[in-house]
């Protein structure tokens, strides 16, 4: 039961972030949303499950806007008890033609934002004597795929940063862990399926081939399943799970 806890989920207007926010709201947490796009739809979805959510539209590529976001949560909701670092983007291209601006954006949003939100959330967690930091990394935090240089580098960085934060909070009721999903059918992945369709593959086949290359179950992981994992990491029973990089990937990493 997360009654009385606040949960900031970055990048929570869509996909996995919205799913994690829904699980946390249904468990009683006061959720604060962040992200672009279908904001009103996301807010209504969360409000239907629990308390009306907070929202801040910070662009997580900008440390100044991250500071504004964390200040908003502090002033309006008394600080962040559960920090879910989920915002992320992808770009698929061979290294030689990988645009430098995409590299910079992916490192900023997928990796550096985790440094900034965490360093700003930790003092309040220490004051209140409890906290959970859950970083949505990826199987690409543990293994690579070709044509994803920035994403793989950023996610490996997130897994490393997770371990460091776990050590620095080890003697407290604050834990920091990463979750490492395989393929989840979200706009981020649909974009990659669309690239295959554009290259002439039939839509159903494009989806099947994407799974078959990496994910032995041949089924997508769902945001709801990841939500259950996040709830476990928030529970008292998980207090000695520290610095883990926990995969939920249909067998991807077993190969
Ligand atoms: P998505 O595109 O559905 O959602 C991304 C969210 O991040 C959206 O809410 C978007 O508005 C927000 N966002 C994007 N740029 C932002 C910025 N600069 N500032 C603030 N918010 C921003 O993607 P998703 O698949 O749900 O991905 C969520 C996380 O899960 C990412 O970190 C991604 O790397 C990770 N992940 C996804 C998969 C997958 O298969 N979909 C697998 C492993 C890990």
123 pLDDT band, cuts 50/70/90, is very high
Q: For the chain, what is the mean pLDDT?
A: 98
**pLDDT tens digits, one per residue of 55-94:** 999 999 999 999 999 999 999 999 999 999 999 999 999 9
Q: Which of 151, 183, 220, 252 is catalytic?
A: 151
107: which DSSP letter?
I
Q: Is the full-model pTM beyond 0.90? A: yes
Of 232, 136, 243, the C-alpha closest to 179 is 136
Task: Indicate if 72 belongs to the active site.
Answer: no
**Which residue's alpha carbon is nearest to atom 36 within ligand 1?**
138
Q: Is 36 in the pocket of ligand 1 (CB under 6 A)?
A: yes
Using CB atoms within 10 A of its CB, is residue 3 exposed (0-12), middle (13-18) or buried (19+)? exposed
Q: Is the CB of 86 under 6 A from ligand 1?
A: yes
> How many Å apart are CA 200 and CA 52, to the nearest integer?
44
pLDDT band at 7; cut points 50, 70, 90: very high
Residue 109 in contact with ligand 1 by CB distance below 6 A: yes
Over residues 140-149, the pLDDT tens digits come to 999 999 999 9
- Quote the ligand 1 centre to 85 CA distance (angstroms): 10
* Complex prediction ipTM: 0.99
183-232 pLDDT, tens per residue? 999 999 999 999 999 999 999 999 999 999 999 999 999 999 999 999 99
pLDDT score at 93: 97
| pLDDT per residue as tens digits for the range 83-115 | 999 999 999 999 999 999 999 999 999 999 999
């Amino acid at each position: 039961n997360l009654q009385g806890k606040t949960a900031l989920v970055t990048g929570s207007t869509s996909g996995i972030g919205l799913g994690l926010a829904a699980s946390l709201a249904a468990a009683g947490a006061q959720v604060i949303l962040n992200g672009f796009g279908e904001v009103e739809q996301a807010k209504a979805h969360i409000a239907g499950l629990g308390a009306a959510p907070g929202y801040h539209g910070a662009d997580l590529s900008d440390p100044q806007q991250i500071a504004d976001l964390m200040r908003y949560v502090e002033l309006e909701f008394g600080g962040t008890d559960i920090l879910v670092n989920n915002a992320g983007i992808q770009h698929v291209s061979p290294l030689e033609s990988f645009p430098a601006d995409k590299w910079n954006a992916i490192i900023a949003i997928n990796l550096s934002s985790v440094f900034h939100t965490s360093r700003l959330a930790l003092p309040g967690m220490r004051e209140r004597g409890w906290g959970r930091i859950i970083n949505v990394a990826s199987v690409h935090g543990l293994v690579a795929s070709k044509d994803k240089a920035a994403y793989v580098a950023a996610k490996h960085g997130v897994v490393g940063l997770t371990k460091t934060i776990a050590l620095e909070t080890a003697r407290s009721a604050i834990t920091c862990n990463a979750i490492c999903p395989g393929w989840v059918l979200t706009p981020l992945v649909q974009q990659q399926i669309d690239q295959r369709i554009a290259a002439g593959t039939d839509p159903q086949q494009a989806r099947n081939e994407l799974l078959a290359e990496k994910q032995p179950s041949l089924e997508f992981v769902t945001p709801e399943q990841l939500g259950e994992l996040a709830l476990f990491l928030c529970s008292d029973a998980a207090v000695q799970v520290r610095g883990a990089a926990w995969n939920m990937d249909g067998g991807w990493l077993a190969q």
